[in-house]
C-alpha cells in the first residue's frame, strides 16, 4: 500500500551546506540591523534613515533565514531566493572591494557568495532542484 505523499529525497550534502552558509549570512544581516538600531539609540544623528535601513535589513535577512531553513528541510522552491540573495550580496561584495576600498572584506564576501552558488549548482543540487532525484525514488517504488 503506497501513500499519495511519497517521501521526497533529502537535499544533497552540497545543498545542505549552502543552506547552512546562507543561514549564517542571515544571522549576520540581522546582527547588522540590530547594530544600526543600537547606533540610533545611542544618539546617532539622522536616526530616521538609519532605522529605515535597519528595517529593510531585518526584513530581507529574516526572509533569508526562512529560505535557508526551508532549503535545509528540502523545499525546492527555497533555492531561488537563496540564489537571488547570493547574487545581491555579490554586488555588495563588489562595492566593498571597489568603490569602498575594502579589498579584504569585498574579496572574502565575494568568495563566500561564489562558494554558496557553486554548491547550489553542483550536479546533484541541480538534479534535486529539478526533481530528477524524486523520479529515481518513484521508479524504485514501482519496481517493488
pLDDT digits (tens, 9 = 90+) for 63-114: 999 999 999 999 999 999 999 999 999 999 999 999 999 999 999 999 999 9
pLDDT in the model for residue 40: 92
The pTM is what?
Answer: 0.83
- With 0-12 / 13-18 / 19 or more C-beta atoms within 10 angstroms meaning exposed / middle / buried, residue 143 is exposed
Indicate if the pLDDT at residue 43 is higher than 90: no
The SS3 assignment for 108 reads helix
Amino acid at each position: 500500500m503506497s501513500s499519495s505523499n511519497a517521501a521526497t529525497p533529502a537535499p544533497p550534502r552540497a545543498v545542505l551546506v549552502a543552506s547552512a552558509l546562507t543561514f549564517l549570512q542571515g544571522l549576520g544581516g540581522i546582527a547588522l540591523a540590530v547594530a544600526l538600531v543600537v547606533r540610533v539609540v545611542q544618539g546617532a544623528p539622522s536616526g530616521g534613515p538609519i532605522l529605515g535601513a535597519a528595517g529593510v535589513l531585518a526584513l530581507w535577512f529574516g526572509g533569508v533565514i526562512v529560505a535557508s531553513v526551508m532549503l535545509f528541510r528540502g523545499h525546492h522552491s527555497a533555492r531561488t531566493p537563496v540564489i537571488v540573495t547570493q547574487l545581491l550580496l555579490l554586488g555588495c561584495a563588489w562595492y566593498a572591494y571597489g568603490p569602498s576600498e575594502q579589498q579584504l572584506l569585498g574579496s572574502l564576501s565575494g568568495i563566500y557568495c561564489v562558494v554558496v552558488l557553486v554548491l547550489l549548482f553542483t550536479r546533484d543540487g541541480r538534479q534535486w532542484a529539478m526533481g530528477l532525484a524524486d523520479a529515481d525514488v518513484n521508479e524504485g517504488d514501482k519496481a517493488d
